[in-house]
């Protein structure tokens, strides 16, 4: 399993940042690519369905959650395994770190370097959007 971690320090209180980015059912608060979203509780757990710009739909299953983190999985044809984590780590009064983690195993025949580059781009874009939305809140 490969793990990618990307994060940045934010000069804001962790609770304030988490109020913006920590709602599994509120991704639209920080992600402008999300045009629609719904969450339902199923026998497997919370399932989030995102309608993205360009007509793509993504379905994600929450696999764990805590005070300032949640993790979700999704089925991807190019991945044997995929879990992503969003977290906010309090560092000091009025300072925290947004941390994004992707744990993945490429499917047979998928180039690991290409997958890694794609995920790093994905994480970087999300981190930038999260920081912008938290600062504006």
- Residue by residue, DSSP assigns 55-99 as S-EEEEEEEEEETTEEEEE---TTEEEEEEEEEEEEEETTEEEEE
For the chain, the structural domain boundaries read 2-136
Confidence at residue 45, expressed as pLDDT on a 0 to 100 scale: 94
pLDDT band, very low/low/confident/very high, at 25 (cuts 50, 70, 90) = very high
Q: Which CATH architecture has domain 2-136?
A: 2-Layer Sandwich (3.30)
Reduced to 3 states, what is the DSSP secondary structure of residue 47? strand
Confidence at residue 44, expressed as pLDDT on a 0 to 100 scale: 94
Confidence at residue 26, expressed as pLDDT on a 0 to 100 scale: 94
**pLDDT, tens digit (0-9, with 9 covering 90-100), for 26-64:** 999 999 999 999 999 999 999 999 999 999 999 999 999
The pTM for the full model equals 0.93
């Amino acid at each position: 399993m490969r793990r990618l971690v990307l994060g940045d320090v934010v000069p804001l209180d962790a609770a304030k940042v988490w109020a913006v980015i920590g709602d599994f059912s509120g991704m639209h608060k920080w992600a402008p690519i999300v045009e629609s979203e719904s969450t339902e509780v199923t026998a497997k757990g919370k399932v989030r369905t995102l309608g993205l710009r360009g007509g793509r739909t993504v379905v994600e299953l929450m696999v764990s959650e805590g005070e300032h983190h949640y993790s979700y999985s999704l089925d991807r044809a190019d991945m044997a395994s995929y879990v992503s984590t969003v977290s906010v780590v309090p560092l000091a009064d009025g300072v925290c770190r947004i941390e994004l983690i992707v744990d993945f195993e490429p499917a047979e025949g998928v180039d690991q370097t290409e997958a890694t580059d794609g995920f790093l781009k994905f994480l970087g874009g999300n981190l930038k959007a999260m920081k912008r939305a938290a600062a504006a809140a």
